[in-house]
Amino acid sequence: MKFNAEIVFGGALTACVVLSVVFSGLIPAEAFDNLISPALMTCTVSVALVSAWIIFRHSSGLRFRKMWGFTLLVWGVIDASYILLYATAPKAVMDMGAYKLTSLELLLGNILGWVLLLYPTESLRPGWLTWKSALWQLLPMFAMVALDYLLPVHLQPIIAMYPVLLIVLLFTNLRAYNSWCEENYSTLDDIEVEWIIRYLVMAVLVGVVYMYICLTHSPARGFTQLWLTIFMFVYSTEQILFRKDPWKMLRHLEKEKPLETCGRPNAELRKRLELWMEQDKPYLNPDFQLSDLCKALAMNRTYMSQFIHSEYNCTFYQFVNHYRVEEAKSLKRECPSMKVHDVSARCGFSSPTVFSRTFASFEGVTPREWARKINSE
C-alpha cells in the first residue's frame, strides 16, 4: 500500500539517521578508525556486491535494473579498494576524507554521487543515458578540478555543489514522467513517481553527510554515512526488484502496425468510446491500459490520449478511475453492507488504499463517509 510504504520508509530512514548520529557521538575516534569503520565498510561491500549479483540475475532485460546493478558494483569495488588500501597503507587513508579535503576527494565523491543518479535517470528518461551523454555530464567536474589546481582561486565549493545541479535537472523530469504514466495506465502501482522521489531523498542524504564529513573533518559522521549507505542499498534493491518497466508498453507499440489517427468526428468517437466503456466495462481490469483502449477502437495511441485530454479535460488514469468510482457507488447502493475491500476488488482498484484515496479525490469524502451519508438520506 502506498500510504503504508511512505510511513515505513520515513520511519526507517529517520531511525537510521537519528540513531546513527546519537551513537556516533559516543564512539571514540580511535575505536571508529581502527574497528568500527573497517567493519561497517566490509558490511557495505558485502551488501553492495551481493545485491548487485541478485539484481543482475533478475534484470530480465530491464535496463534500469542493470543501471542499479552497475551502481552497486561500482560502490562495492571502490569501498573494497578503500579497505585494501587501509590494510596496506593506513596512514594514507587517515589523510583522506574526514581529515583532509582536496579537490580529488571531492571529485571521487561527485563521481559516486553521479553513479547513484544512473538509476533514476534511466527510469525517468529511458535510453537517454549513453556513453556520450555520460561524458558530457562528467566533463564539467573534471574541468573544475583541473582549474582548481591551475588557478589561484579555490573552486572546491563549486565542485561540491555540482551533483546538486544534476539532481535538480532530474527533478524537472518527475512531472513529465508522472503525466506520461497517467496518460497510459489506469493503475500506477510499481511505476509511481513517489518511489523515485524517495530514492533521490536517500541519495541527497548520503551526499549531505559526505559533505559534512569533508567540511567539518568529523570522522564520527562516517558512521552515519555508512549506515545510510547500507540502508539505501538494501531498501532500493528490494524496491527495484519489484518495479515494473512502464516504457515497455511503448516499445511494444512501436513495433506494431500504426492504427488510425483520426477520420471520425469527435462526437462519433466519443459515443463509441463511452458505449464501449459502459457495456464492456474494461475498467474492471486493474491492468487496463491506454493501449487496450486503442486496440478496441482501432485508434492511434497519441491521438487517443489527446482526444481524452481535449474531450474530458483529464488524463487516461483519471478517465478510467471516474468509471471505477461510479461503479463503486452503484455497488454500494445495491449492497450497502459490502465491505470496502470487496468493492475495491470488484471495481478494478489495485488495493483498498488506492480505492479510498481515489474515491476521496473524486467525491471529497471517503467511501465509508459517502455510504453513511447515502444511508441517512
| Domain regions of the chain by residue span | 2-246, 256-376
> Which element (helix H / strand E) includes 33?
none
Query: From CA 188, how far away is CA 140, in angstroms rounded?
Result: 37
pLDDT score of 174: 93
Query: From CA 250, how far away is CA 98, in angstroms rounded?
Result: 47
Q: Among the residues of 61-220, which ranges form H helices? A: 63-88, 90-94, 103-116, 118-124, 131-150, 156-171, 174-184, 193-216
Q: What is the pTM assigned to this prediction?
A: 0.86
CB 243 within 8 A of CB 191: yes
Query: From CA 87, how far away is CA 83, in angstroms rounded?
Result: 6
Tell me which residues of the chain have a pLDDT lower than 70: 1-5, 89-102, 214-221, 249-265, 375-377
CB 125 within 8 A of CB 84: no
Q: For residue 84, what is its C-alpha cell? A: 585494501
pLDDT score of 1: 44
Q: Residue 185: what are its φ and ψ, rounded to 5°? A: -130, 145
Count CB-CB contacts under 10 A for residue 207.
Answer: 21
Q: For residue 193, what is its C-alpha cell? A: 513517481
Q: Among the residues of 217-255, which ranges form H helices? A: 221-241, 248-254
pLDDT score of 46: 95
pLDDT score of 2: 46
For the domain with range 256-376, which CATH number is right: 2.60.40.10, 3.30.43.10, 1.10.10.60, 3.40.50.20?
1.10.10.60
pLDDT score of 218: 63
Dihedral over Cα of 167, 70, 135, 154: its sign = positive
Query: From CA 225, how far away is CA 65, in angstroms rounded?
Result: 24
How would you label 174-198 residue by residue, b for 16+ Cβ within 10 Å and e otherwise? beebbebbbbbbbbbbebbbebbeb
pLDDT score of 186: 92
Count CB-CB contacts under 10 A for residue 212.
Answer: 16
281-321 pLDDT per residue, tens: 999 999 999 989 988 888 888 888 889 999 999 999 999 99
pLDDT score of 31: 75
Which residue from 175, 163, 162 is spatially nearest to 124, judged by alpha carbons?
Answer: 175
Instruction: Identify the burial level of 111 via C-beta atoms within 10 angstroms of its C-beta, where 0-12 means exposed, 13-18 middle and 19 or more buried.
Output: middle
**Amino acid in the structure at residue 197:** I
Over pLDDT 70: what percentage of the chain? Answer: 87
How would you label 113-146 residue by residue, b for 16+ Cβ within 10 Å and e otherwise? bbbbbbbbbbbbebeebeeeeeeebeeebeebbe
Dihedral over Cα of 138, 221, 73, 192: its sign = negative
**Amino acid in the structure at residue 81:** S
